[in-house]
């Protein structure tokens, strides 16, 4: 009884405070809904109704008054006050005549009151008011909303883009275009949870809208990533008519004196992470053995320093941005390319359909995209032992070939003079953790680990690449929620690349993100002598950083569990001498490690190109393995409804096998070469 009285007293106090705030116009609509819902849930419907009526009386100029009336009507229905509910709904519709749910509910309330004629009249009024909503107009409205959202996203107005795109999603939740961009805007804003639903949009619809690259930021599930890429490719490319399929020349014969013709297709052959990575690779190709073609499909010719350098390095430069996919494919066919390299994958400005026309006998996935293409035409993927160890080849539809390290670096990049900590905006005497990955790679679980690390290392700070001010402020507030002072988060402003490289080195320890880790950013960090701590997962994006650290000669910075990641970060901060030893190791190996041995990387790359050529000559070009990917997709998207952030390989594989076994018991599943290897 004491507990009950205390509970009732607490609700009375809450109600009294809410009523007073409502009278003073200080109670927001969201707070009104939350308090009323709590009162309704505790069977205090009369109190909830009193709160609604008070808010309505004293907030009659509110632009959302019709929503308050609508919820008030629902509460009155719960009290069996049908006349009151009807009055509230009529008031709502007087303010917002086209509020569909209010019109529907008013009709239902009349019907439940035995007034069928009035019910039908309400619904007829709504039908008449919306009769000009034709499929054509809905389609145009959808397109307009998508274009507005896309442009806003492109110029960095992420909050506005998110709101506009949500309108498009609710209009047609079965269409994925708007939701793809909406999910990406939320990732870039660190709005967690990323996936939120409404009355009109389900969790499944949003999960299915993920495109492959943002999906890699959301989950470390390589089998589902492969299945998603397969589905995405089918949607993106569609069906290629047989009459449009190109017929490339047969592979060159062994012992030919002709050079092997290599074509690189990319939108990023410019001042971009990919452009930086490939610059020296293209310069070091042995031009007595290979003839290099660059096909640029990006923004109008930039003529920046990197693009100019690449144009000088290659034998042939073709700007194909203005060409159709088929015409671009015909240009590649006319150039008699032997090995065509897709350096975009499923990234921005990619021209995936060009490859679907098969303009070259060999098509390779390399350098631009962290994962399998899962397409019918990409026959090879180039990676390394760390990213794709032999036991993980089942996550890739392509044949896996390996180079020493999958991250080429440009040893000629300009680096400014190293700034002082004060010049970089950092405290002189603090231990500085840093992460310069894009904000879209930061997840709620990752941020929680960072806050645990800061809490265990008093006086330390976390130096992040600055996003927009609303995002920075959101992260500061989240730090407060974790018990960490907000000024311990320091945001680095954008800076020219040469200066950014120079300032990296003033930090103490780089904390990588998970599941999408640092790629070229990690290579930049270790190049500048900054140790990087990473958590190694299962997929391409979650293993890439471990490849860089291994190639740089510091494999001890690779962690196998989240707990080990947190513990090791704290240990290094508490024992700076141990971290100094890592720095010295980096410095000692800087010019001899595999990460910076670009001549060896290029020699191996050319060996692989000739190996592919030989396999083509012998009729041994691999066929992409696409079996059962629709089934893996269905299993994976179901798992994604309740995602597991991190698990061991054994646990992960067993989870899939168990689900496949259950599905097989219902409807037989054909054997494949991945998890479903034995159907006995």
Mean pLDDT for the stretch of residues 319-325: 94
Sign for the pseudo-dihedral over CA of 568, 573, 574, 578: positive
**Which pLDDT belongs to residue 40?**
87
User: Bridge-partner residues for 340, per DSSP?
Assistant: 263, 363
Provide φ and ψ at 559, rounded to 5°.
Answer: -105, 145
**Torsion, Cα of 590, 595, 597, 602 (10° steps):** -160
Q: What is the mean pLDDT of residues 481-505?
A: 95
Q: Do domains 2-129 and 135-209 have the same CATH topology?
A: yes
Lowest mean pLDDT across 7-21, 265-279, 379-393? 7-21
Strand order in the sheet with 432-435: 489-492, 461-465, 432-435, 509-511, 532-535, 558-559
Q: Which long-range contacts (CB under 8 A, 24 or more apart) does 238-245 make?
A: 238/353, 240/353, 240/356, 240/357, 244/326, 244/357, 245/357, 245/358
The H helix count followed by the E strand count for the chain is 27, 13
**% of residues, the chain, pLDDT over 70:** 96
Cis, bond preceding 193 (omega within 30 deg of 0): yes
Checking if the pLDDT of 117 tops 90, the result is no
Pairwise CA distance, residues 341 & 337, whole Å:
10
Residue 249 has a pLDDT of 63
- Judged against a pLDDT cut of 80, whether residue 245 lies above it is answered with no
**Tally of CB atoms within 10 A around 494:** 8
The architecture of the domain spanning 242-402 is 3-Layer(aba) Sandwich (3.40)
Q: What is the DSSP string of 434-473?
A: EE-S-GGG--HHHHHHHHHHHHHSTT-EEEEE---HHHHH
Q: pLDDT tens digit string along 467-489?
A: 889 999 999 999 999 999 999 99
CA pair distance 18, 44, nearest whole angstrom: 14
| Class of the domain covering 2-129 | mainly alpha
The structural domains of the chain, with segments of one domain joined by +, span 2-129, 135-209, 242-402, 432-596, 629-666
For residue 401, list its beta bridge partners.
382
Secondary-structure class of domain 432-596 per CATH:
alpha beta
User: Tens digit of pLDDT for each residue in 596-632?
Assistant: 999 999 999 999 999 999 999 999 999 999 999 999 9
The band of 258, judged by pLDDT with boundaries at 50, 70 and 90, is confident
Helix (H) or strand (E) holding 418: none
What is the pLDDT at residue 204? 95
Instruction: Work out whether the CA dihedral 510, 212, 189, 561 comes out positive or negative.
Output: negative
CB of 226 closer than 8 Å to CB of 632: yes
Region 295-324 average pLDDT: 92
User: For residues 436 and 532, what is the distance between their CA atoms, to the nearest angstrom?
Assistant: 11
Q: At what angle do helices 629-640 and 649-666 cross, to 10 degrees?
A: 110
Planar angle of CA 641, 645, 646, nearest 5 degrees: 135
Tokens 């995002």, located at residue: 471
For the ranges 145-159, 400-414, 416-430, 555-569, which has the lowest average pLDDT? 145-159
- Determine which helix (DSSP H) or strand (DSSP E) holds 217, and give its type and residue range: helix 212-218
pLDDT in tens, 402-453: 999 999 999 998 999 999 999 999 999 999 999 999 999 999 999 999 999 9
- Dihedral sign, CA of 437, 443, 444, 449? negative
CATH number of 135-209: 1.25.40
Tell me how long the chain is. Answer: 680
Q: What is the average per-residue pLDDT within 296-313?
A: 90
What are the backbone dihedrals phi and psi of residue 643, each rounded to the nearest 5 degrees, phi first? -70, 145
Instruction: Mention every residue, 6+ apart, whose C-beta is less than 8 A from residue 586.
Output: 526, 529, 531, 552, 553, 554
Question: pLDDT averaged over the chain?
Answer: 92
413 exposed, middle or buried (CB, 10 Å; 0-12, 13-18, 19+)? middle
Dump pLDDT digits (tens) for 639-661: 999 989 999 999 999 999 999 99
Give the integer Cα–Cα distance in Å for 150 and 185.
Answer: 10
Distance (Å, whole) CA 186 – CA 221:
20
């Amino acid at each position: 009884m004491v507990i009950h009285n205390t509970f009732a007293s607490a609700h009375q106090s809450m109600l009294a405070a809410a009523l007073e705030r409502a009278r003073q116009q200080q109670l927001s609509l969201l707070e009104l809904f939350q308090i009323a819902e709590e009162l309704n849930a505790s069977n205090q419907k009369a109190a909830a109704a009193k709160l609604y009526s008070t808010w309505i009386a004293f907030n009659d100029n509110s632009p959302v008054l019709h929503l308050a009336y609508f919820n008030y009507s629902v509460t009155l229905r719960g009290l069996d006050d049908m006349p009151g509910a009807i009055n509230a709904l009529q008031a709502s519709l007087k303010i917002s005549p086209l509020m569909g749910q209010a019109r529907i509910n008013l009709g239902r309330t009349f019907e439940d009151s035995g007034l069928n004629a009035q019910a039908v009249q309400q619904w007829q009024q709504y039908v008449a008011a919306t009769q000009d909503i034709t499929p054509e107009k809905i389609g145009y409205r959808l397109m307009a909303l998508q274009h507005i959202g896309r442009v806003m996203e492109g110029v960095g107005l992420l909050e506005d883009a998110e709101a506009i795109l949500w309108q498009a999603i609710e209009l047609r939740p079965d269409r994925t275009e708007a939701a793809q961009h909406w999910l990406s805007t939320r990732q870039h804003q660190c709005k967690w949870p990323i996936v939120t639903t409404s009355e009109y949009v389900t969790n499944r619809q949003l999960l299915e809208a993920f495109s492959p690259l943002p999906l890699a930021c959301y989950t470390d599930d390589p089998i589902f990533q492969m299945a998603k890429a397969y589905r995405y490719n089918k949607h993106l490319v569609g069906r290629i008519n047989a009459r449009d399929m190109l017929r490339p020349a047969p592979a060159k014969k062994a012992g030919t004196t002709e050079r092997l013709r290599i074509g690189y297709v990319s939108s990023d052959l410019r001042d971009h992470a990919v452009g930086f990575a490939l610059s020296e690779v293209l310069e070091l190709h042995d031009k007595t053995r290979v003839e290099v073609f660059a096909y640029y499909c990006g923004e109008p010719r930039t003529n920046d320093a990197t693009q100019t350098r690449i144009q000088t390095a290659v034998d042939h430069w073709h700007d194909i941005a203005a060409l159709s996919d088929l015409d671009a494919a015909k240009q590649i066919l006319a150039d008699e390319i032997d090995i065509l390299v897709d350096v975009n994958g499923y990234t921005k400005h990619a021209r995936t359909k060009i490859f679907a026309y098969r303009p070259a006998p060999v098509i390779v996935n390399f350098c631009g995209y962290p994962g399998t293409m899962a397409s019918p035409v990409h026959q090879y993927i180039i990676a390394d032992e760390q990213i794709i160890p032999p036991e993980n080849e089942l996550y890739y539809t392509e044949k896996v070939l390996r180079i020493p390290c999958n991250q080429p670096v440009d040893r000629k990049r300009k680096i400014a003079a190293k700034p002082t900590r004060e010049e970089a905006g950092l405290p002189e005497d603090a231990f500085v953790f840093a992460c310069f990955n894009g904000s879209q790679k930061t997840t709620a679980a990752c941020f929680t680990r960072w806050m645990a690390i800061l809490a265990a290392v008093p006086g330390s700070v976390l130096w992040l690449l600055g996003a927009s001010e609303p995002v920075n402020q959101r992260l500061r507030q989240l730090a407060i929620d974790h018990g960490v002072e907000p000024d311990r988060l320091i945001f680095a402003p954008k800076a020219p690349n040469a200066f950014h490289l120079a300032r990296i080195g003033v930090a103490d320890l780089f904390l990588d993100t998970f599941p999408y880790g640092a790629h070229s950013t990690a290579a930049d960090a270790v190049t500048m002598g900054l140790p990087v701590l990473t958590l190694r997962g299962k997929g391409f994006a979650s293993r890439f950083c471990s490849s860089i650290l291994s190639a740089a000669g510091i494999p001890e910075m690779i962690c196998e569990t989240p707990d080990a990641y947190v513990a090791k970060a704290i240990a290094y901060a508490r024992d700076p001498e141990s971290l100094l030893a890592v720095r010295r190791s980096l410095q000692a190996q800087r010019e001899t490690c595999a990460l910076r041995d670009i001549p060896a990387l290029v020699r191996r790359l050319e060996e692989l190109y000739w190996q592919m050529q030989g396999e083509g000559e012998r009729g041994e070009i691999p066929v992409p393995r696409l079996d059962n990917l629709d089934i893996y997709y269905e299993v994976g998207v179901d798992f994604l409804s309740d995602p597991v952030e991190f698990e061991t390989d054994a646990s992960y594989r067993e989870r899939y096998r168990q689900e496949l076994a259950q599905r097989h018991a219902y409807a037989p599943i054909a054997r494949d070469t991945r998890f479903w290897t034995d159907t006995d």
